[in-house]
Structure 1
């Protein structure tokens, strides 16, 4: 299992467009992937789950991946978070 923590730096927080991109990016992978925010954990492959967290700027999220392609999945997450200007590790 791999886990990584990010601080959200985007003024809009983790709103619909980047949340949708994250979900779309991780969905093809077979590993289980979760997002933890304020003691709530959701499946990162679920747009409704991610949006229900209401992550805002300055807050920290933890993403965990567990499965055969977890390293590739986490590399994709990191790439997307940085490219979209969403957060920093």
Structure 2
């Protein structure tokens, strides 16, 4: 399992559009991906769960990646998070 910690730098926070884009990225790989915010965990492939975290600007989230392609998917997911969130 790989974990990425990130402080949200997007003024709009983690809303529906980036949640959908993250779900699409994660769906390309045979992995499980979760977001943890303040102890609440959401499956990144479930947009409703991700938006329900209400992750706002300046808040810390952790991305947890598990599966056979975790190292390969890490690069793509990390790049998206750093550029868009």
How big is the alpha-carbon RMSD for the aligned residues of Structure 1 and Structure 2? 0.9
Superposed counterparts of 1:1-89, under 5 Å: 1-84=1-84, 86=85
- For the 8 Å contact 1:14–1:54, the answer to whether it is kept is yes
**1:54-88, CA deviations, whole angstroms, 9 ceiling, x for partnerless residues?**
1000000001111110011111111111232x1xx
* 4+ residue segments displaced more than 4 Å: none
Give, in whole Å, the separation in 2 of the partners of 1:45 and 1:82. Answer: 19
Q: How many pairs were matched up?
A: 85
- For the 8 Å contact 1:31–1:67, the answer to whether it is kept is yes
Q: Give the secondary structure class of the aligned counterpart of 1:61.
A: strand
Give, in whole Å, the separation in 1 of the partners of 2:52 and 2:25. Answer: 19
Q: Give the secondary structure class of the aligned counterpart of 1:11.
A: coil
Which consecutive unaligned segments of at least 5 residues does structure 2 have?
none
Normalised to the residue count of structure 1, the TM-score between the two structures is 0.89
